[in-house]
Structure formats: C-alpha cells, structure tokens
Copies of this chain bind each other. A is one copy, B any other.
Amino acid sequence: MESVKSKSYEVHINELAQAALNQHISKSDYSRIFLLVDENTKAHCLPIFKKMMDAPIDSLLEIKSGEENKHIHTCLQLWQDLSNLDGDRKSLLINLGGGVLTDMGGFVASTFKRGIDFINIPTTLLSMVDASIGGKTGVDLGSLKNQIGVINQPQMVLVFPEFLATLDPRQTKSGYAEMLKHGLIQDREYWNDLNQKGDFTDASCIQKSIAIKNKVVLEDPTEQGLRKILNFGHTLGHAIESYCLDNPNKKTLLHGEAIAAGMILEGYLSHELRGLSKLSLDEIKKGFLRHFDPVDFAPDDIESILQLLKYDKKNSHGNVNFVLLQEIGNAVTDIKIPEELFHKAFAYYRE
C-alpha cells in the first residue's frame, strides 16, 4: 500500500510502516524511546507492536483511555513522567492509541522541553483516517474540546489496519463518519463506493481517506480557507459531543457518532441555504443512519447544544461559521446560519 506524503512527514501503511519505523530509529540518535499507551492498547496492541520494533523501548508511559481524561492534568503527569525518567531533548515519544492518546501525546511531546520528536501510531479507525494528518495536537478545557494545543507535525505516522481487529465494533464504526465526510466534502465517487460497502476497514479505503485529508491540508496548512471544509458536521457535532459528555443523563457519544448527527443536521442547513438537493440530503441521512443509531434530542437538549455553539473554537468575532455542501463532493465555507434554521434541522433529523 503506497505511503501518503504530507508536507514534512509520511503516512506509511502496513508492510512499509514497520520498515520505515525501524529505519528512522536506526538512523536517528535518540537518547531514549518512550512509548505511550492506554489500558486498551497496552493489552491488545503493545504485544503486536513490540514484535515489530527492532530497538528496545526504554520506558512505557500509561494513561487512562477516554475523552474525559484528555485534559491538562493528564499532560502534567506525562511531563513529570518524562522528566523523572530522564527524558531529554533527544528523546522520542511513540504514541500508540486512538485520537485522544495521539492528540494528547503529540501535545506533550510538542511542549516537553520546547518540543521533542514523536511518532503517531493510530490504533482506531477514526485516528487512522483523521488525527493522522494535519498536525493538530491538544487537550480539552473542561467540556470544551481541543481548546489547548498546538499545530506540530510528527516524524511519521504508521497505520496498521490489523489493530482494528482488537477494537470494539462501536469504536470502529465511529471512524466511518469521518470517512463518509471525506466523500461528502471532496469526492462523490468515494462516497458512492463507501455506501456500497458494509465494512470500511480495508487498507484501500483507509488510504483513500488519508489521501483526501492530506490533499486538503497540504493546500491550506494554516486553515485560512480550504481546510475549513474538514469541519463539515463538526460545528454542531462538537457541541453535541461536548453536551453529551458533560451531561450525566445523556449517553456519551463517540466522536464519529456525534459528527454523524452533525452532518445530517448540517446537511439539512445545506439544503436550506446552499441548494443541496432533497434527494442528496435524504441520501446523506440514510448513509449515516445505516451505521449510526439516531440520537434522541429533547427540546432542552437542543437549547443547551445551541448555547455551546458559541464556544466552538472555529467561531470568530462571536459569529458561528458553518461549512455546508452545495452538492455531494463539493463544500463551501464561512456560512452564517439564521437561528430558526437550527430548530428546523433538528426537526428534520428526528423525522
């Protein structure tokens, strides 16, 4: 499977990934190699990964899985661990886990002694197709997602689809949402392909999604224009995700589950404001509901979610800007939404 070349690093998949890792380490003069895992990747991925590595791992760092642990106090523990374990500026941190772990491990590496090298090995489908590209690192601030972080690139990203077999199927399906998004914003044909498949975990789908995201990020690394299209479904999706995480009465949603709802809702806004056809809108709703159970939104929930919108980090000057679709495969950015349309969107979602 061909590697995907990003600006300063490559994403290697399967057979090439192992070779690239060992070659990089043997040519680099790292003083210590740290491996960051959570309880899940420690149990299921670490035994496989250890066999792939020629060099020994000097120290294992462990954090608890889950978005609720993606905050600065976990970082503080990791910085202290790195310091106590004689981490220095020539140390390497390998992040073996899902997006929460690679976002947080990337941030810790980017800020430890003003930046050490790191390599990301995403182990969930979502992190393979999404967090693997773009250099976003960071943690949440209370219930506000990714408020603290930097943009910084790993040395390389290694994708081993075999790790997906170790996952809860719900986790894997969560990744389908970002893959479907890649089709919706850039590639009608890929959207069609995915909708004819039951399973998106083969290396060719993963590579296609990585390649789409990479193309977008390379054209606009600092998110001045095109890159914003990657936020399709995320403005409402993030608010939904934060709200459910913070509210003990709501089932916590995985990221993909939240943005799947977000994409149906923002698909509706696209229909109202940018001429997305009703046929395409219904196709989008059907495409997501095939994989994701509908979320139950009570009127109070909707009000709270709309309140949270104003904190979304993409907001500027107090306005909420949306990415909408003109058609499947073609997105536009910076659209303002009249307040009353949000309620109509939720009504369409619940139909």
Contact = CB atoms under 8 A, between A and B. Distances in A.
Interface stretch (A144-152, A211-219, A246-254): A144-152
Contacts of A317: 31, 88, 90
A25 interface: no
Number of identical protomers: 2
14 contacts: A31-B317, A79-B147, A79-B148, A80-B141, A83-B141, A83-B142, A83-B147, A83-B311, A88-B313, A88-B316, A88-B318, A113-B147, A113-B313, A115-B150
Contact of A89 (B113, B150, B311, B316): B316
A56 to B, nearest CB: 16
A110 interface: yes
B318 A86 contact: yes
A321 to B, nearest CB: 11
A125 to B, nearest CB: 24
Given A72-B75, A86-B318, A150-B152, 16 more contacts: A31-B316, A31-B317, A31-B318, A72-B72, A72-B76, A83-B142, A88-B316, A89-B316, A90-B316, A110-B150, A111-B111, A112-B147, A112-B148, A113-B147, A114-B146, A114-B150
Interface in A63-108: 72, 75-76, 79-80, 83, 86, 88-90
A148 B83 CA distance: 10
A188 interface: no
Interface of A: 31, 72, 75-76, 79-80, 83, 86, 88-90, 110-115, 136, 138, 141-142, 144, 146-152, 310-311, 313-318
Contacts of A313: 88-89, 113-114
Contacts of A148: 79, 111-112
A88 B89 CA distance: 32
Nearest to A110: B150
The prevalent SS among residues of A at the interface is: loop
A114 B149 contact: yes
Given A114-B150, A115-B150, A150-B111, A83 B144 contact: yes
A154 to B, nearest CB: 15
A310 B79 CA distance: 17
A336 to B, nearest CB: 15
B115 A315 contact: no
Determine which residue in A83, A86, A113, A146 has the highest number of CB atoms from chain B within 10 A of its CB, and name it: A113
A262 B79 CA distance: 27
B83 A151 contact: no
